[in-house]
Structure 1
């Protein structure tokens, strides 16, 4: 561990962070265990490893524990897609139907149910940028808001253990209307799964192989994949759901988990497993404008474009979101090409910097990168849903409260 004082942190306040996590979440039984990595200036300032990765077997969280990162897969997929943009194989304003012809005449939901939707024409075609920023008109069954959400649930689209392939999902979506005309609203959706499909189609390389060759191998992300191989299964964490009483119910046993065998649906929106160390490698590459240890994945200007707010008219999520569920709060937030971006820190009511970008996963994992303070924070646990507890807001407050020296 590096000298935390030299990196601008208070040792005592970092201890307070660990004490908070231990008492509020681990000892209380809200979380089985938790891991937090704080890095600044390319060096690890603090590492918390608390509690159990498997309550039933009494196994502790360790530095190399493998977690389901769910929607923290989305930034990885988005970066993979932007590599194809850099190569001139696709442009952000290309119509999606250029690559998915069966989507050429997608309609917009007006009324009715799955048996007989009433629709209207879309105001404009869906563009690639709509997929990256979640303005496509697609949705998630977990939104539980409309009849279209119910239709997604009925087809089990992009759900864990979904038995079909990405090709099957694309065909199923072709038969459903959109929630709204592309660009008119923001709705958290299966759009990033569609991007994963397009990465494979446009590159000519299977999506999982593309990620392995172009991202994981160059960055040395040795434990990140769409399944957990047998020789790593002993490090795989159990996944729990929060109970109404504040306890935990086993959701996915690591001994019998579907993640122990290769997935049929390679979900670019939520299918990866990873470790804190691996994801820190990915975040360090982002923080260094696309390069790490001599491996250049994308150019600095591409990362700058991804970190900009791409919501139409420069609006924020508070104005555009119609999602009941998202991995971000809306106040003060814009959305870039693969992650949320802080636009107005004061509106968030928590410490943060302009241009900070972040996302999280359904099992309460999270990361953020603060380019002003040269800061990366990664937090791992395995508790569904991510909205069960305000851990992300609390963690931001505790981390910034332990920072004694500003760099911005």
Structure 2
């Protein structure tokens, strides 16, 4: 039994969690995982299972560097919330007031709040232009402004935005930055360096290349995401210079766990204050009511499940009150919040139980299978809380 200030973690249950992952890998559901579960900052499980590839030729290392896909959005969300606290932006700031080229009704009425809650009224497109290179923020912005238009009034519908919202958010941060920094530098200076997330960056830094796992999409991703200098259908994820604020970051489970612990502690870790407790409380509260997330509504209906509410806070996914299929599990507290990415990566914070969960995996899964996988692992993890 691992005793922590706010309760214990059952070593038996955590050992069972590891054995379930090992069994999943043996069955070929995915290739491997690096997982960390902690309570009140005390690590109960820190495990590395399986390999980086389907053949099992390359065992995973505990410090493996993963493409984290949409977990990148969590970093940009926090940077935007930090900008609000610093008076640089406001939740009510209209996007078009900072980015005039984002004109045209009804999208020109969208605010930073709408970006964070995925309620801009724009459709959730997977790419703003087919086969475009996505490593340059200016090119992404031009494509979003030219091709992604408002379909309904902001605030009236929740459409998860795979790309557009975070391109706009990153550009708002860049244009209002007093030091005129690019988004790569903003992320490094204002988040990674103070939190000592030394293996996290936008793009694959040269010092991280040797530990980088090349993701196997297994036919799950329906579009090409090419790189400017790197070969392959998904070359973007191997680029060293990468300004994609929606999917371009790489990280380790240890770094993601530190990020989650900062949020669990109300925005501070090891003396570095990123957000205020008030902002974390606001951001982790459901802001979308009973609106469905149109993307996951489709996943649920195709799977024969009840369509869940979106349960989105200020950028974070929230577990919510209803018992529905959810990656954060069904046994976690309703206020559990976090983010996930492309059938392979996830973290959550359960503030009621003082728990954090971070898991990065290899072998991308379909949306429904990934939801079921992480729901199962999350429920086992939280059952360890005594």
Smaller-chain TM-score bracket: 0.7 to 0.9
Which residue in 1 is equivalent to 2:246? 269
1:372 counterpart = 2:344: no
Distance change (3 Å), C-alpha of 1:217 and 1:32: same
| Contact 2:79–2:187 (CA under 8 A) maintained in structure 1 | yes
Q: Could you tell me whether the CA contact under 8 Å between 1:345 and 1:353 is conserved in 2?
A: no
Comparing 75-84 and 348-357, the one that deviates more: 348-357
Q: Is the 8 A contact 2:96 2:108 kept in 1?
A: no
Name the CA distance, whole Å, in 2 between partners of 1:198 and 1:12: 48
Q: Does 1:228 align with 2:204?
A: yes
**What is the RMSD computed on CA atoms of the aligned residues?**
2.8
- Alpha-carbon contact 2:117-2:315 (below 8 Å) kept: yes
- Confirm or deny: 8 A CA contact 1:226 1:272 kept in the other structure: yes
* Gap change, CA 1:14 and 1:187, over 3 Å in 2: same
Distance in 1 (CA, whole Å) between partners of 2:383 and 2:192 is 33
Q: Where in structure 2 are the equivalents of 1:322-361 lying within 5 Å? A: 322-324=294-296, 331=308, 334-347=311-324, 350-361=330-341
TM-score norm. by structure 2 comes to: 0.85
Maintained 8 Å contact 1:239/1:363: no
CA deviations on 1:168-215 (whole Å, 9 max, x unpaired) are 222222233223221110011121222112111111321110111111
Cross-structure match for 1:200: 174
| Pair 1:167-2:138 in alignment | yes
Deviation at 1:154, TM superposition (A): 4.3
Structure 2 gap ranges (5+): 221-225, 301-305
Cα offset, 1:50, TM superposition: 0.5
**CA deviation profile, 1:246-268 (whole Å, cap 9, x unmatched):** xxxxx99x99854444335x122
Alignment partners' CA distance in 2, 1:104 and 1:228: 34
1:377-399 superposed Cα distances (whole Å, 9 cap, x missing partner):
01111333451442111111211
Tell me if 1:29 matches 2:28: yes
- In 1, distance between residues paired with 2:114 and 2:48? 38
Partner residue in 1 for 2:257: 280
Distance verdict in 2 for CA 1:127–1:30, change over 3 Å: same
More strand by share: 1
- Aligned partners of 2:292 and 2:310 also within 8 Å: no
Query: What is the aligned partner in structure 1 of residue 130 from structure 2?
Result: 155
Corresponding position: 1:399 with 2:381: yes
In the alignment, the residues of structure 2 paired with residue 185 and residue 402 of structure 1 have an alpha-carbon distance, to the nearest angstrom, of 37
1:295 and 2:272 correspond: yes
* Structure-2 change in CA distance of 1:346 and 1:173 (3 Å): closer
Per the TM alignment, residue 20 of structure 1 is displaced from its structure 2 partner at its CA by: 1.2
Runs of 4+ in 1 over 6 A off after TM superposition: 325-329
Question: Which range moved further: 214-223 or 96-105?
Answer: 96-105
Question: CA, structure 1 residues 258+174, in 2 after alignment: closer, same or farther (shift >3 Å)?
Answer: closer
SS, match of residue 219 in structure 1:
coil
Q: Which of 215, 225, 234 in structure 1 is aligned with 2:191?
A: 215
Report the Cα offset of residue 241 of structure 1.
2.8
The answer (yes or no) to whether the contact 1:35–1:49 under 8 Å persists in 2 is yes
The residue number in structure 1 matching 2:156 is 184
Contact conserved, 1:276 with 1:380, CA < 8 A, in 2? yes
Structure 1 position 243, deviation (Å): 6.1
Q: Which residue of 2 aligns with 1:134?
A: 118
How far off its partner does 1:342 sit? 2.6
SS in 2 for 1:369: strand
1:327 to partner: Cα distance: 10
Bigger Rg over Cα: 1
